[in-house]
């Protein structure tokens, strides 16, 4: 298989939304052949190659800055998680042990004088709400409820320890706190795992582009240059500090740091004795399935063994988003089924009646059901009912994955005003993101990308014209040779 086909296959399999930022190997081949035909000077090839390398470097540097920034954020989250585990012991095997630890800790503090406030002060603290356990909505949003030593000292596995006045922390409140910690744990672990996958993809991006540069320089040397020219160029490239990233050394170091953080997080997993019996529900549209969706589905397994996905049909998708799906319902089902145990279709914008049919009273009574979805849409349809019967957990979106960019690439490949759509997609890759993860693209950014694309288009037209001219010349030469042969044959036979 030719390298251009190998490159395109690798991009389509793993990095479709990064396709515009790879070295355009096919375009460079056309330019090299145009140089070989004499249609354009060799300088055009080297200028085109530099433009492609600069595009790759620009994309990489954007990702590098993102990676360094995200590593610091995730490292801080792991530190906070470790402190919470040390203070509360939430990573114990089950809720009973967790509550017991809270009680023992609170008693120790009370004996040390921390919980000996007089009744008036205690009443003031109670009225201010400092000792109140967090509501279900707080725990579902991933916030870790605060619990004072005095409140914890009043708790026991079965009820309340009346050590002093004020609000008591019940076992149920402790369970809610544990679930809040679980959301923080899962969110942190998901962030690290998503990050590691993105880094591996970035390394693949670097490797493929490094091979593409080496291959195209070799190709140019073969058709229009020389071996010495190729060797000199590659030596210069290897010595160029601006392109040292092609060795992927920094990416490898960051992957090592992430692996170390994942090891620390693994030891902080909250206990979940009901994991094997728990069914995890989520609802969404999941159009143009991408790795962000896959990351979400993997993380949902942290909450329970069985994953049930509700999928809006095409009509309800349009009502919710005011746009049509790219993938039809059958395709979307096929895309998500490998990640879950069951899929049910929701022919309405409100999933409430369909979830009612799926969730049993026994599930609710035994606490073996929960609902998890991405945090990008906290006020999702059906939340009122869902919160009334099960815990709700919101997980962060996969950093570095943009559904909008995936959709832009799709429309670019679909032939819709190709240059303009491609320019918008390229601008989107470098644009800052809003709170929902959508790129904020300006017209100036699009215009700059469009200018570069138009120059590439001009070179492609020149290369195509040169190829057609060469083909016409070859055809004329063949026709002339055929005429000469015919005349010679006729002369030999005495016809003329």
Residue 320's CB is within 10 A of a number of other CB atoms, namely: 14
Q: What is the pLDDT of residue 300?
A: 92
> How large is the greatest C-alpha to C-alpha distance in the chain, in angstroms?
132
Distance of CA 93 to the CA centre of its chain: 31
138 pLDDT above the threshold of 70? no
Rg (CA), the chain: 31
In this prediction the pTM is 0.69
Nearest to 50 by CA among 452, 454, 460: 452
Least confident of 96-100, 126-130, 319-323: 126-130
**451/346: higher pLDDT:** 346
Q: Is the pLDDT of residue 147 over 70?
A: no
List the CATH code of the domain at 274-395: 3.40.50.620
Mean pLDDT for all residues in the chain = 76
The domain limits of the chain are 22-112+132-272, 274-395, 420-496
Instruction: Output the pLDDT for position 414.
Output: 47
Question: What are the strands of the beta sheet with 392-395, ordered from one edge?
Answer: 342-346, 306-312, 279-284, 369-374, 392-395
Alpha-carbon gap, residue 175 to 272, rounded angstroms: 11
Tens of pLDDT, residue by residue over 242-301, are 888 888 899 999 999 999 999 999 988 887 778 889 999 999 999 888 888 888 999 999
The Cα–Cα gap between 207 and 217 comes to 16
| Neighbour count for residue 360 (Cβ, 10 Å) | 13
- What is the spatial distance between Cα 331 and Cα 316, in angstroms, rounded to a whole number? 16
pLDDT given for residue 164 in this prediction: 35
Q: Where does 325-442 have alpha helices with state H?
A: 329-336, 352-358, 361-366, 383-389, 403-413, 418-430
The answer on pLDDT for 490 being more than 70 is no
Q: Are 333 and 244 in contact (CB under 8 A)?
A: no
Place of tokens 């109140």: 132
Kindly indicate the confidence band of residue 377, based on its pLDDT and cuts at 50, 70 and 90.
Answer: confident
166-180, 303-317, 364-378, range with the lowest pLDDT: 166-180
Is the pLDDT at 370 greater than 90? The verdict is: yes
Q: Is 47 exposed, middle or buried (0-12, 13-18, 19+ CB in 10 A)?
A: middle
Q: Report the percentage of the chain scoring pLDDT > 90.
A: 32
Check residues 314 and 288 and name the one with the higher pLDDT: 314
The rounded distance, in Å, linking the Cα atoms of 37 and 31 is 10
Q: Round to whole Å and give the CA distance between 302 and 318.
A: 31
- Average pLDDT in the 120-149 region? 35
Identify the pLDDT of residue 91: 63
CB 319 within 8 A of CB 347: no
Q: State yes or no: pLDDT of 167 exceeds 80.
A: no
Whole-number Å distance between alpha carbons of 355 and 388: 12
Confidence tier at 13 by pLDDT (50, 70, 90): confident
Return the H-helix or E-strand segment holding 311. strand 306-312
Q: What angle do CA 420, 421, 424 make, to 5 degrees?
A: 85
Q: CA 125, CA 132: separation in Å to the nearest integer?
A: 10
User: For residue 137, what pLDDT band results from cuts at 50, 70 and 90?
Assistant: very low
Please state, in angstroms and rounded to a whole number, the distance separating the CA atoms of residues 425 and 128. Answer: 51
Q: Which of 178, 11, 183 is nearest to 101 (CA)?
A: 178
Judged against a pLDDT cut of 60, whether residue 156 lies above it is answered with: no
């Amino acid at each position: 298989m030719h390298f251009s086909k190998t490159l395109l296959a690798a991009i389509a399999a793993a990095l479709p939304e990064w396709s515009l930022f790879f070295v355009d190997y096919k375009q460079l081949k056309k330019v090299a052949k145009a140089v070989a035909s004499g249609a354009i000077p060799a300088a055009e090839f080297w200028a085109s190659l530099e433009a492609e390398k600069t595009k790759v470097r620009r994309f990489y540097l954007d990702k590098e800055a993102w990676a360094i920034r995200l590593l610091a954020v995730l490292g801080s989250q792991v530190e906070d998680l470790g402190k919470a585990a040390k203070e509360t012991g939430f990573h114990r095997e089950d809720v009973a042990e967790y509550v017991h630890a809270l009680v023992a800790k609170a008693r120790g503090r009370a004996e040390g004088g921390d919980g000996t406030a007089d009744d008036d002060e205690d009443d003031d603290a109670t009225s201010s709400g400092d000792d109140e356990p967090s509501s279900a909505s707080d725990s579902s949003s991933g916030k870790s409820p605060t619990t004072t030593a005095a409140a914890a000292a009043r708790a026991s596995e079965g009820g309340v320890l009346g050590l002093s006045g004020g609000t008591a922390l019940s076992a149920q409140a402790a369970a809610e706190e544990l679930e809040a910690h679980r959301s923080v744990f899962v969110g942190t672990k998901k962030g690290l795992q998503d990050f590691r996958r993105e880094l591996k993809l970035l390394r693949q991006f670097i490797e493929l582009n490094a091979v593409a540069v080496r291959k195209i320089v070799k190709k140019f040397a073969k058709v229009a240059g020389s071996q010495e020219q190729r060797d000199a160029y590659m030596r210069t490239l290897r010595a160029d500090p601006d392109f040292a990233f092609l060795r992927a050394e920094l990416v490898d170091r960051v992957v090592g740091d992430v692996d170390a953080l994942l090891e620390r997080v693994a030891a902080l997993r909250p206990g979940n004795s009901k994991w094997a019996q728990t069914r995890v529900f989520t609802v969404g549209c999941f159009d143009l399935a991408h790795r962000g969706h896959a990351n979400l589905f993997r993380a949902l397994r942290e909450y329970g063994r069985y994953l049930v996905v509700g999928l809006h049909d095409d009509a309800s998708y349009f009502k919710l988003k005011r746009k049509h799906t790219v993938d039809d319902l059958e395709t979307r089902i096929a895309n998500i089924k490998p990640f879950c145990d069951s899929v049910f279709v929701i022919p309405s914008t409100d999933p409430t009646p369909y979830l009612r049919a799926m969730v049993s009273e026994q599930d609710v009574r035994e606490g073996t059901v929960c609902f998890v979805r991405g945090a990008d849409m906290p006020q999702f349809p059906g939340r009122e009912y869902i919160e009334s019967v099960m815990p709700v957990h919101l997980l962060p979106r996969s950093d570095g994955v943009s559904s909008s960019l995936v959709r832009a690439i799709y429309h670019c490949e679909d032939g819709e005003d190709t240059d303009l759509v491609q320019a918008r997609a390229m601008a989107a890759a470098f644009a800052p993101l809003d709170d929902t993860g959508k790129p904020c693209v300006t017209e100036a950014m699009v215009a700059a990308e469009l200018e570069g694309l138009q120059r590439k288009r001009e070179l492609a037209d020149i290369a195509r014209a040169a190829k057609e001219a060469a083909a016409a010349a070859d055809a004329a030469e063949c026709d002339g040779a055929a005429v000469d042969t015919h005349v010679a044959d006729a002369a030999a036979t005495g016809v003329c």
